[in-house]
Structure formats: C-alpha cells, structure tokens
Structure 1
C-alpha cells in the first residue's frame, strides 16, 4: 500500500477499517482486557484504522460482561455473543466472516497467539501476501499432547486432499478476497488451516515460539482436541469416503486369488468345506464393501452440494454500526477473482 493510499485512507474517515482483529473467547475473563490492550497497542502502531471483534462462545464466567464493558469503553470494539457453544471451528470462523476489514487477523485470547506478530502479518500483507500464517516452532506442552499432534499431522499429511503445514493453527492474517471466498464455500465445519492451502492464494508462513497461556485454564481437554482433529480430518480428507471402494478392490483381488487356490486345492487334494466357505464369505464381503463405498461416494457428493448450515446463531451483537446490525452475507466479488494469483 503506497503512502498516498495510506493518506487517503486516513483522511477520508470511511467506516471500513483497514484491519479487523477477530478474537474468539470461552471463559477468558482473566485475559480479555489484557488482550484488548495488547492488540490495541499493536493496531495503533501498525494499522491505519481497525476494529476488534470479540466473539464469546457462551462463556460461563464474566467474559461476556467484560466484552460488553470494552464495547462501551472503545467504539472500535465489537462483540458477538453466541446463543450456545458452537465449538472451536464454527465460532471463530463465523466472526471472521462478520469482519469488514481489508485484512482480518484471527488470534486466540489466551496470548498463545502473540500480538507481537501483528506487525509482521500486516507487513507481509502489504508486500503482496494474501494469507500470512503463524507457524508454531516450539511450544512447552505435555508429551501426550505433543505425540498426539505429531500423529494427527502425520495422518493429515497422508490423507488430506491438500497439503497441510505442521504447527499452523489458523492464527494469522487473511485478506478481504480470501475471507469472502471462504465464506462462499458454506463449509458446515470450516477447517481454516486446510482451506487456506486448498484455496491456492499466496501464502507466507511466519515461524514463532509459542508461549504458555498467560492466565486462566484451557477449556481444551484431550477429547476436545481429538474431536477437533477428527472434524479437520473429515473436512479436509473427503477422499476417506472412498476408502471402502479401495478396500473392496483389494478384497476382490484377494478373493480371486483365494478362489483360484480353492479350486486348485479341490482338484489336487480334495473338497474342503471350510476353504469354500471362506471363499464365499470373502466374495460377499467384497460385494458389501463395494456397495458401502458407492453409498459413501454418493454421500460425499450430496454433502458437497448441500452445505448450508449456519455456523452460529447470535444471541446478541454489540457496538456494530447500524449498517452491520445484521449478520453479514458474504459474496464473491469479481474484482477479487481478477486479482487472485
């Protein structure tokens, strides 16, 4: 962005912010005010204009009340309060789609996504990147969680339809055209880190050492993280639905070899009821797998064509301008497509 563009952006006073910061929260009463202050400091230093959107996933502590207080204190702060907990995929992505900035930076509220990287994200975007992602280089965590992550990334790399970058959590910057394109996909469980690579936009990765949570207790149990990983796998590895088809082919090949062996055994040695029964069972198993695979593939096609599930139902939105009093409905603009790499 040139100096003349920056000056005109600053002087016109237009309502569209240059950068939107999206911060999902769940029981973050110990961090939300400090996160607001840290992000505000970075935003004033690196952006021309900005907004901060907190989306509360039906917290059971005072997070929502604190977010409301920040909205009263600062006109650049907005809040979305969900009517229930929609999980780690749907709630943050929904808030990203509600942002109006020319670039959108998504980050967690626990300071494990350090605000100090904001300046680097914005610099990379101004230099031409359409997506800038933070990549976890190191992190102090339990051996079980570390091992689980390694296994999860290994599975994703092997089975995902598109490449997966290890250590990327979705923390990063997404340009306006990227956000609008993602929203148009109508993913019921959007796996942002997978979508970022699937989309083919210009992407840069910025390594960082991930700090520990600043305060409070993480709501992520082993089962929560496992559920998140499985959702990501199913969302970014749709080819798994074809696995029964592949298994049926393998089983059929084995059945043919077994049938040849059974016939040869009957000719050379004598009739074997157990061997013939085994062959018949493998034939039936192969046919069953074939039909299950075909059903799975048809289901995959239906899912591809009928994704229209709302990500979040809002209980309340606070401090949004009048023209944004209702949830945004994103569309793909021709100019975005023309500018795509």
Structure 2
C-alpha cells in the first residue's frame, strides 16, 4: 500500500542520532497521517550508522534503507532518496535534529490546505563568523544571478507533493540544486518559520569547503545568466587596467603598480566565472551520459516492485 507520507532522512556518520531521529519521526508521523514510511539513505558512512539502520529496518518494516556504494555528496544523495520515496507527500529532513520533527504536523496541515511545496525557513543560523559569511555570500550571489528567486534560510527541510517529486525527478539534473528546483518549478509554495535547535549529537559535516562547493554548484546549476558575464567583465577589466597603467606611466610608478594589481584582480574574477561556466559544461556532459545520482550497494525493506525509473536508479549487484 502506498503510504500517505514518506520521510526521507539522509545520513553520513550519524550513529549517535539515527535511532533517536527515527523514534521521534515515527511518533510524530503516527499522530499526523494515516500511514507513513521512513526512508534512510546512507552516503557511505564510516562509523556504525549502517549497523543501526539494519537493526531499525528489522524492527519496523515501515523503515527502509538505501546504502550508497560511495559518498555522492550532499546534493545528489538526499535528492535521490526523495526521488525513491513513494508517499503521496514526501518530507526531507536532516538526521541530527536541526530539522525538528515537531514541524511535521504543520507541514502536513499546509499540504492538506492546498500547498504543493512547504518549506521551513530558519529564523536564525548558528555558525562561526566565517561559515556565516560564506552562507550570506552564497545567498547574495544566488539572489543576484540566479534564474529564480532564492529563499534565505530555506535549507530544503520541507514537504513536497507527489506531483512535485515526480516532476523534478524527470528533469535529469546530474547535480540537483533541489531547493532552487523547487522554486523554479512554480508549484504552490508555502513558507513556515522554523526555530532551529542545536544539533543533538556528533559534529556537522558541512564545513567551509563543503558549503563553498555547494554554493558554487548551485550557481552553476541555477544561474545561466552568468554565461554572458565573463565577456563583459573581461572587457571592463582590460579597459580599467589599460587606463590605470597609462596613468601610472605618466604620473609615477605607484599607479602603474596599482594598475597591474587591478588587472590581476579582475583577471581572477574572470577566472572564477570561467570556472562556473566550466562546471555548467561538465553538467551538460553528465546529462548526455545519463549518469545516475547514486549507485546503490544495497536496499532494505523495499518491495520488489518499488523502483522509480524517473530517478535514474542504478543498483550494483554484489
């Protein structure tokens, strides 16, 4: 029987949280919907997460698990899990309690009232000054150059109607910037404010490098207007550098050095945008190869007929 609600929880080294989050989600879902499933997708954990997942699946047939054969990053694995869910509505949330299970009821109420996408918007972010600056820069770039509006504080924690999930799964995105795709799809959207609690246990996997990579992938995948900017920036940089260099040669060596420095600085900016274009070219190549979002090593508690072709499933047989 198709469940009314699927809750998808991506995991990576969450041995301290996975059992507790399943218990909390099960209790909340039982109060809100007629039937539900929990889909855990593990991104090649190196701790005891998979052992806990196996035990949970053995204890409760409503808990299902997918084990990736390697780590596919924080864009591909969570999205793939959402595409593999079967519920009339699908909720995506983190395993560490930073996405509070208590919000499930409000998400379901908004969905039953007609919203096809319900996104939780964090009222505040707890992060170091450096990580906070990276987040703000990423949001600013997406607001400025993105093809569709970005919702600050909406990290992907939310509920998605079956029609939304099936539509996005058919888009064939090799590195899906899911929160951007949701807005781009144009389905009826509701925003729900969320107070973000502290992480329950363990450490966050989203360091400076992963956040920067996520922001760049989001830009490359959802800011097609950037394709035209490098030419304009290159012309502007060349003109400014030339004028400053000429002025420096006439009036003194300091301005000449300034002109060279400015030229090199603008050249670095151009290289950044060329890198984004290169990433877009890479995504085009990935689309032509039809690479799956993840390759599964194993799945547990799925009926034999549960296979969603739109999600480009590929299972490696042992």
TM-score per shorter chain, which class?
0.7 to 0.9
Which residue matches 2:253? none
Instruction: Select the residue among 104, 108, 113 that pairs with 2:99.
Output: 113
Q: 1-side partners of 2:283 and 2:67: how far apart?
A: 34
State the secondary structure of the residue aligned to 2:75.
helix
Confirm whether residue 45 of structure 1 aligns to residue 45 of structure 2. no
Instruction: Select the residue among 293, 310, 317 that pairs with 1:330.
Output: 310
Confirm whether residue 91 of structure 1 aligns to residue 73 of structure 2. no
Instruction: Select the residue among 127, 135, 139 that pairs with 1:153.
Output: 139
Which piece of structure 1 moves more, 99-108 or 132-141? 132-141
Which residue matches 1:134? 120
Q: Deviations over 1:197-229 (max 9, x none)?
A: 111111111111111110111122211111111
Shift in alpha-carbon separation, 1:166–1:301, aligned structure 2, 3 A? closer
Q: 1-side partners of 2:189 and 2:227: how far apart?
A: 29
Instruction: Select the residue among 28, 32, 35 that pairs with 2:21.
Output: 35
State the secondary structure of the residue aligned to 1:139.
coil
RMSD of aligned Cα (Å): 2.9
Confirm whether residue 232 of structure 1 aligns to residue 218 of structure 2. yes
Confirm whether residue 191 of structure 1 aligns to residue 177 of structure 2. yes
Structure 2, gaps ≥5 residues long: 247-262, 264-269, 312-318
Confirm whether residue 311 of structure 1 aligns to residue 287 of structure 2. no
Residues 186 and 309 in structure 1, CA contact (< 8 A), matched pair in contact too:
no
Shift in alpha-carbon separation, 1:304–1:56, aligned structure 2, 3 A? closer
Aligned-pair CA distance for 1:303: 5.4
Q: Deviations over 1:244-281 (max 9, x none)?
A: 233366579x59x98xxx9xxxxxxxxxxxxxxxxxxx
Equivalent residues in 2 for 1:191-230 (5 A)? Answer: 191-230=177-216
Which piece of structure 1 moves more, 142-151 or 54-63? 142-151
* Structure possessing the higher radius of gyration over alpha carbons: 1
Q: 2-side partners of 1:304 and 1:143: how far apart?
A: 35
Residues 238 and 300 in structure 1, CA contact (< 8 A), matched pair in contact too:
no
Q: Under a length normalisation based on structure 1, what TM-score does the superposition of the two structures give? A: 0.77
> Which aligned runs of 4 or more in structure 1 are off by greater than 6 angstroms?
none
Residues 82 and 314 in structure 1, CA contact (< 8 A), matched pair in contact too:
yes
Q: 1-side partners of 2:78 and 2:224: how far apart?
A: 22
Residues 142 and 219 in structure 2, CA contact (< 8 A), matched pair in contact too:
yes
Instruction: Select the residue among 167, 170, 184 that pairs with 1:181.
Output: 167
Residues 133 and 170 in structure 1, CA contact (< 8 A), matched pair in contact too:
yes
Confirm whether residue 20 of structure 1 aligns to residue 14 of structure 2. no
**Corresponding residue pairs, total:** 286
Q: Under a length normalisation based on structure 2, what TM-score does the superposition of the two structures give? A: 0.82
Residues 21 and 51 in structure 1, CA contact (< 8 A), matched pair in contact too:
yes
Q: 2-side partners of 1:63 and 1:207: how far apart?
A: 30
Which residue matches 2:302? 320
